[in-house]
Amino acid sequence: MRSTAVDGWQPSAIQLERESWRRRQATRSTAIAAASTLLVFGVVGALVVTSPGWERVHETYFNWDKAVDSFPAVAAGLWVNVKIMAISAVAIVIVSLTIAVMRTTRGPLAFPLRLLGTVYVDVFRGLPLLLVIFLLGFGGPALDLTGMPRSALFWGCASLVLSYSAYVAEVFRAGIESVHQSQRLAGRALGLTYAQTLRHVVLPQAWRRVLPALMNDLVSLQKDSGLIAVLGTVIDAIRAAQIETARDFNYTPYVVAGFLFICLTVPMARLTDWFARKQGFHAAGGML
């Protein structure tokens, strides 16, 4: 039980003055930040709307009637992008984790696995994603392989999985190798096999360490899912915007598609930053 002196404690006049000064400084800093932000955006906005070509730009890129007319088609296409991202993300985690385990497996007998994983990472990190989409999206259906779908959507998703898995595998590998060797030795000392140590001791720690990086890759995957539009037969948000634009050569549907993508990616990016700060990955100064 606390004493009466503690229960009746009151801050000193000096402490109250310090707290009052901090509140005034915080209010002053907020007011200055708000005023400077409004000033900068106001000046930029005034320069834009008073420029000679603003009326034509406004009509071509920011036509409200065109935006309303094209919104349903673009939004339906965005749902395709979301499904592509969700399916591809699951496959990427499985493939990349397998590659990372192959590359971190020790011993001379595992050398072929390490070599295969290294070649895979080097090849697909070296190839541009758009080139992979062209190769598989057009070449895959043309091969007419037995038992393989001919859908451009399937081959487009396969391109995303193959390309992104090479990058995410390196993220997983870094997480696995960041776990101290003593953790593995402790697991083996408890009687766990190599596979059990990897599953119950190493991977849980590695997953926690690389999760912010994986969330950033998920944000990138959401944007890059729009590259499948180059295959032509997949009506995603970008392809839908292209179709709507071709009706009258008004580019407002592209702006609508960009706005919808931003509405998806910005919350994911902020969630990633919040999680990174919670886990202590950001410096003391913080990040926006």
Residue range 224-264, pLDDT digits in tens: 888 888 887 788 888 899 999 988 889 999 999 999 998 88
* Single pTM value for the model: 0.77
Q: Is residue 196 part of a domain?
A: yes
Q: Is residue 40 part of a domain?
A: yes
Interatomic CA distance for residues 157 and 139, integer angstroms: 14
70 and 27 within one domain: no
196 and 152 within one domain: yes
224 and 129 within one domain: yes
Q: Is residue 56 part of a domain?
A: no
Q: Report the candidate in 259, 153, 171 with the shortest Cα–Cα distance to residue 218.
A: 171
Q: Is residue 183 part of a domain?
A: yes
- pLDDT class for 286, splitting at 50, 70, 90? very low
Q: Is residue 36 part of a domain?
A: yes
Q: How many CB atoms lie within 10 A of CB 102?
A: 20
193 and 237 within one domain: yes
168 and 139 within one domain: yes
Task: Judge whether residue 283 has pLDDT over 50.
Answer: no
144 and 36 within one domain: no
130 and 204 within one domain: yes
The domain spanning residue 228 has which CATH number?
1.10.3720.10
265 and 228 within one domain: yes
Whole-number pLDDT of residue 1: 45
Task: Judge whether residue 276 has pLDDT over 80.
Answer: no
- Give the distance, in angstroms, between the CA of residue 212 and the centroid of all CA atoms in the same chain: 9
In which domain, by residue range, is 33 found? Answer: 10-46
**H helical segments located in 105-236:** 111-126, 129-143, 152-178, 181-189, 194-197, 203-224
83 and 212 within one domain: yes
17 and 74 within one domain: no
129 and 21 within one domain: no
134 and 212 within one domain: yes
Lowest mean pLDDT: which of 101-105, 139-143, 257-261? 139-143
Q: Is residue 31 part of a domain?
A: yes
Q: Is residue 247 part of a domain?
A: yes
Q: How many domains does the chain have?
A: 2
What average pLDDT does range 91-118 have in this prediction? Answer: 89
Name the most confidently modeled range: 137-141, 145-149, 281-285: 137-141
Q: Is residue 19 part of a domain?
A: yes
DSSP secondary-structure letter at 199? Answer: I
CA atoms within 13 A on the CB side of 56: 4
